[in-house]
Protein backbone atom coordinates (compact mmCIF):
# COMPACT_ATOMS: atom_id res chain seq x y z
CA UNK A 1 0.00 0.00 0.00
CA UNK A 2 1.17 3.51 -0.77
CA UNK A 3 1.42 5.70 2.33
CA UNK A 4 3.19 8.53 0.54
CA UNK A 5 1.26 11.77 0.53
CA UNK A 6 -0.60 12.17 -2.73
CA UNK A 7 -1.14 15.45 -4.43
CA UNK A 8 -4.50 16.97 -5.08
CA UNK A 9 -3.87 16.92 -8.82
CA UNK A 10 -4.18 13.12 -8.93
CA UNK A 11 -7.30 13.38 -6.74
CA UNK A 12 -8.89 15.84 -9.18
CA UNK A 13 -8.05 13.56 -12.10
CA UNK A 14 -9.51 10.59 -10.23
CA UNK A 15 -12.72 12.51 -9.42
CA UNK A 16 -13.17 13.37 -13.06
CA UNK A 17 -12.38 9.81 -14.22
CA UNK A 18 -14.85 8.20 -11.79
CA UNK A 19 -17.48 10.80 -12.56
CA UNK A 20 -17.11 9.97 -16.23
CA UNK A 21 -17.33 6.26 -15.48
CA UNK A 22 -20.69 6.90 -13.79
CA UNK A 23 -22.08 9.33 -16.29
CA UNK A 24 -21.27 7.33 -19.42
CA UNK A 25 -22.89 4.28 -17.86
CA UNK A 26 -19.78 2.10 -18.21
CA UNK A 27 -20.81 0.10 -15.17
CA UNK A 28 -22.58 -3.22 -14.78
CA UNK A 29 -26.38 -3.14 -14.65
CA UNK A 30 -26.41 -3.02 -10.83
CA UNK A 31 -24.30 0.15 -10.96
CA UNK A 32 -21.45 -1.30 -8.94
CA UNK A 33 -18.12 0.52 -9.21
CA UNK A 34 -14.82 -1.37 -9.38
CA UNK A 35 -13.19 -2.01 -5.98
CA UNK A 36 -10.87 0.59 -4.45
CA UNK A 37 -7.91 -1.53 -5.41
CA UNK A 38 -9.08 -1.84 -9.02
CA UNK A 39 -9.82 1.88 -9.22
CA UNK A 40 -6.36 2.70 -7.87
CA UNK A 41 -4.74 0.48 -10.50
CA UNK A 42 -6.93 1.78 -13.29
CA UNK A 43 -6.46 5.44 -12.42
CA UNK A 44 -2.81 5.10 -11.52
CA UNK A 45 -3.16 6.64 -8.07
CA UNK A 46 -2.98 5.42 -4.48
CA UNK A 47 -5.85 3.80 -2.59
CA UNK A 48 -5.89 6.68 -0.12
CA UNK A 49 -6.67 9.05 -2.98
CA UNK A 50 -9.37 6.70 -4.26
CA UNK A 51 -10.96 6.58 -0.81
CA UNK A 52 -10.89 10.40 -0.47
CA UNK A 53 -12.40 10.77 -3.92
CA UNK A 54 -15.16 8.27 -3.12
CA UNK A 55 -15.90 10.16 0.11
CA UNK A 56 -16.40 13.32 -1.92
CA UNK A 57 -18.61 11.65 -4.51
CA UNK A 58 -20.66 10.03 -1.75
CA UNK A 59 -21.17 13.42 -0.05
CA UNK A 60 -22.33 14.76 -3.41
CA UNK A 61 -24.87 11.96 -3.65
CA UNK A 62 -23.34 10.52 -6.81
CA UNK A 63 -22.47 7.17 -5.24
CA UNK A 64 -23.35 5.22 -2.13
CA UNK A 65 -21.61 2.42 -0.23
CA UNK A 66 -23.19 -0.75 1.03
CA UNK A 67 -21.39 -2.48 3.88
CA UNK A 68 -19.65 -5.59 2.55
CA UNK A 69 -21.14 -5.19 -0.94
CA UNK A 70 -19.23 -2.38 -2.58
CA UNK A 71 -19.78 1.09 -3.99
CA UNK A 72 -22.68 1.85 -6.30
CA UNK A 73 -23.62 4.67 -8.64
CA UNK A 74 -26.74 6.65 -7.83
CA UNK A 75 -28.78 6.92 -4.68
CA UNK A 76 -29.07 4.15 -2.11
CA UNK A 77 -32.33 2.28 -2.63
CA UNK A 78 -35.13 3.11 -0.21
CA UNK A 79 -36.90 -0.24 0.24
CA UNK A 80 -39.74 1.22 2.33
CA UNK A 81 -40.30 3.94 -0.25
CA UNK A 82 -40.16 1.44 -3.12
CA UNK A 83 -42.69 -0.83 -1.47
CA UNK A 84 -44.95 2.10 -0.54
CA UNK A 85 -44.81 3.32 -4.14
CA UNK A 86 -45.80 -0.13 -5.35
CA UNK A 87 -48.90 -0.45 -3.18
CA UNK A 88 -49.94 3.22 -3.21
CA UNK A 89 -52.00 2.90 -6.42
CA UNK A 90 -54.20 0.27 -4.71
CA UNK A 91 -54.64 2.25 -1.51
CA UNK A 92 -57.30 4.85 -0.87
CA UNK A 93 -57.86 6.83 2.34
CA UNK A 94 -60.29 4.23 3.74
CA UNK A 95 -57.96 1.29 3.05
CA UNK A 96 -55.12 3.10 4.79
CA UNK A 97 -57.35 4.08 7.70
CA UNK A 98 -58.45 0.45 8.07
CA UNK A 99 -54.79 -0.61 8.12
CA UNK A 100 -54.11 1.99 10.84
CA UNK A 101 -56.96 0.52 12.91
CA UNK A 102 -55.27 -2.88 12.48
CA UNK A 103 -51.75 -1.80 13.45
CA UNK A 104 -51.75 1.21 15.74
CA UNK A 105 -53.74 -0.07 18.72
CA UNK A 106 -51.22 -2.92 19.10
CA UNK A 107 -48.38 -0.39 18.81
CA UNK A 108 -49.95 1.73 21.57
CA UNK A 109 -50.15 -1.41 23.73
CA UNK A 110 -46.45 -2.20 23.23
CA UNK A 111 -45.64 1.47 23.79
CA UNK A 112 -47.38 1.36 27.18
CA UNK A 113 -45.17 -1.57 28.18
CA UNK A 114 -41.90 0.06 27.09
CA UNK A 115 -42.21 3.85 27.40
CA UNK A 116 -39.77 5.50 29.80
CA UNK A 117 -40.79 8.53 31.86
CA UNK A 118 -38.97 10.69 29.35
CA UNK A 119 -40.90 9.06 26.47
CA UNK A 120 -44.19 9.86 28.20
CA UNK A 121 -43.14 13.52 28.59
CA UNK A 122 -42.32 13.69 24.90
CA UNK A 123 -45.67 12.13 23.92
CA UNK A 124 -47.49 14.57 26.16
CA UNK A 125 -45.78 17.52 24.48
CA UNK A 126 -46.63 16.21 21.00
CA UNK A 127 -50.27 15.70 21.99
CA UNK A 128 -50.44 19.27 23.32
CA UNK A 129 -48.95 20.72 20.16
CA UNK A 130 -51.37 18.71 18.00
CA UNK A 131 -54.28 20.24 19.87
CA UNK A 132 -53.19 23.90 19.60
CA UNK A 133 -52.23 24.15 15.96
CA UNK A 134 -51.99 27.31 13.89
CA UNK A 135 -53.67 25.67 10.92
CA UNK A 136 -54.76 22.31 9.50
CA UNK A 137 -51.31 21.54 8.04
CA UNK A 138 -49.62 22.14 11.37
CA UNK A 139 -52.21 20.04 13.20
CA UNK A 140 -51.52 17.19 10.82
CA UNK A 141 -47.79 17.57 11.33
CA UNK A 142 -47.96 17.25 15.12
CA UNK A 143 -50.61 14.58 14.97
CA UNK A 144 -48.39 12.52 12.64
CA UNK A 145 -45.41 13.07 14.94
CA UNK A 146 -47.39 11.78 17.94
CA UNK A 147 -48.48 8.60 16.15
CA UNK A 148 -44.95 8.03 14.81
CA UNK A 149 -43.45 8.51 18.28
CA UNK A 150 -45.80 5.89 19.72
CA UNK A 151 -44.78 3.46 16.94
CA UNK A 152 -41.10 4.12 17.64
CA UNK A 153 -41.38 3.75 21.42
CA UNK A 154 -43.21 0.42 20.89
CA UNK A 155 -39.70 -0.84 20.14
CA UNK A 156 -40.39 -3.61 17.62
CA UNK A 157 -38.36 -3.07 14.44
CA UNK A 158 -40.58 -5.21 12.24
CA UNK A 159 -43.72 -3.37 13.41
CA UNK A 160 -42.01 0.00 13.04
CA UNK A 161 -41.24 -0.89 9.42
CA UNK A 162 -44.85 -1.93 8.81
CA UNK A 163 -45.97 1.38 10.35
CA UNK A 164 -43.44 3.37 8.29
CA UNK A 165 -44.75 1.68 5.15
CA UNK A 166 -48.28 2.72 5.99
CA UNK A 167 -47.21 6.23 6.97
CA UNK A 168 -45.38 6.61 3.68
CA UNK A 169 -48.38 5.49 1.61
CA UNK A 170 -50.50 7.96 3.57
CA UNK A 171 -48.12 10.90 3.32
CA UNK A 172 -47.29 10.29 -0.33
CA UNK A 173 -50.93 10.30 -1.34
CA UNK A 174 -52.80 13.40 -2.37
CA UNK A 175 -55.48 13.14 0.29
CA UNK A 176 -54.61 16.25 2.30
CA UNK A 177 -57.74 18.02 1.20
CA UNK A 178 -60.01 15.15 2.19
CA UNK A 179 -58.32 14.99 5.58
CA UNK A 180 -58.63 18.71 6.13
CA UNK A 181 -62.31 18.60 5.29
CA UNK A 182 -62.69 15.92 7.96
CA UNK A 183 -61.36 18.37 10.60
CA UNK A 184 -63.87 20.59 12.34
CA UNK A 185 -63.66 22.35 15.73
CA UNK A 186 -65.79 19.49 17.14
CA UNK A 187 -63.61 16.69 15.80
CA UNK A 188 -60.48 18.60 16.87
CA UNK A 189 -61.78 18.76 20.43
CA UNK A 190 -62.64 15.06 20.32
CA UNK A 191 -59.18 14.12 19.01
CA UNK A 192 -57.57 16.20 21.75
CA UNK A 193 -59.45 14.23 24.43
CA UNK A 194 -58.64 10.95 22.70
CA UNK A 195 -54.93 11.77 22.38
CA UNK A 196 -54.87 12.61 26.09
CA UNK A 197 -56.53 9.29 26.94
CA UNK A 198 -53.93 7.39 24.89
CA UNK A 199 -51.02 9.15 26.58
CA UNK A 200 -52.63 8.71 30.03
CA UNK A 201 -52.94 4.94 29.47
CA UNK A 202 -49.32 4.77 28.29
CA UNK A 203 -48.24 6.70 31.37
CA UNK A 204 -50.10 4.23 33.62
CA UNK A 205 -48.35 1.37 31.72
CA UNK A 206 -51.84 0.05 30.99
CA UNK A 207 -51.39 -1.76 27.67
CA UNK A 208 -55.02 -2.86 27.28
CA UNK A 209 -56.31 0.68 27.94
CA UNK A 210 -53.77 2.14 25.49
CA UNK A 211 -54.94 -0.37 22.88
CA UNK A 212 -58.61 0.55 23.43
CA UNK A 213 -57.97 4.30 23.50
CA UNK A 214 -56.00 4.17 20.25
CA UNK A 215 -58.63 2.02 18.60
CA UNK A 216 -61.45 4.37 19.66
CA UNK A 217 -59.44 7.33 18.33
CA UNK A 218 -58.77 5.69 14.95
CA UNK A 219 -62.38 4.57 14.63
CA UNK A 220 -63.51 8.15 15.22
CA UNK A 221 -61.04 9.35 12.57
CA UNK A 222 -62.32 6.62 10.29
CA UNK A 223 -65.99 7.58 10.79
CA UNK A 224 -65.26 11.24 10.13
CA UNK A 225 -63.29 10.39 7.02
CA UNK A 226 -66.16 8.24 5.76
CA UNK A 227 -68.65 11.05 6.41
CA UNK A 228 -66.50 13.61 4.63
CA UNK A 229 -66.08 11.29 1.61
CA UNK A 230 -69.84 10.73 1.50
CA UNK A 231 -70.46 14.47 1.66
CA UNK A 232 -68.00 14.94 -1.20
CA UNK A 233 -69.85 12.36 -3.32
CA UNK A 234 -73.22 14.07 -2.92
Q: Which residues contact a copy of itself by CB under 8 A?
A: 22, 25-31, 72-74, 77, 79-80, 82-83, 85-87, 90-91, 95-96, 98-99, 101-103, 105-107, 109-110, 156-159, 161-162, 165-166, 169
Closer to a copy of itself by CB, 162 or 190: give it. Answer: 162
How far apart, in whole angstroms, are the C-alpha atoms of residue 151 and residue 111? 7
- Degrees, nearest 5: CA angle 18-44-65: 40
DSSP 8-state class, residue 61: T
Closer to a copy of itself by CB, 15 or 166: give it. Answer: 166
Closer to a copy of itself by CB, 26 or 230: give it. Answer: 26
By C-alpha distance, which of 11, 42, 28, 9 is closest to 71? 28
- Degrees, nearest 5: CA angle 84-85-87: 65
By C-alpha distance, which of 139, 141, 216, 225 is closest to 179? 225
How far apart, in whole angstroms, are the C-alpha atoms of residue 74 and residue 61? 7
Shortest gap between Cβ of 175 and a copy of itself (angstroms)? 14
Closer to a copy of itself by CB, 90 or 186: give it. Answer: 90
Shortest gap between Cβ of 26 and a copy of itself (angstroms)? 7
By C-alpha distance, which of 222, 138, 128 is closest to 182? 222
Closer to a copy of itself by CB, 48 or 114: give it. Answer: 114
Closer to a copy of itself by CB, 1 or 158: give it. Answer: 158
Shortest gap between Cβ of 77 and a copy of itself (angstroms)? 7
Q: Is the dihedral of CA 37, 40, 46, 50 positive or negative?
A: negative
Q: Compute how many other C-beta atoms are within 10 angstroms of the C-beta atom of residue 66.
A: 11
3-19 as b/e, with b when 16 or more CB fall inside 10 Å? eeebeeebbeebbeebe
Amino acid sequence: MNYAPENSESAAAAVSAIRQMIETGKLPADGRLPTERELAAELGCGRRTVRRVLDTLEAEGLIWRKQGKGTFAGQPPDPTGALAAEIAPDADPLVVMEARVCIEPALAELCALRATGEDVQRLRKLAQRASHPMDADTAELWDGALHRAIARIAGNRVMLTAFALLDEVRMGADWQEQRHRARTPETMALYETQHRKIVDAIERRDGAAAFDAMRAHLEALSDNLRTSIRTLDE
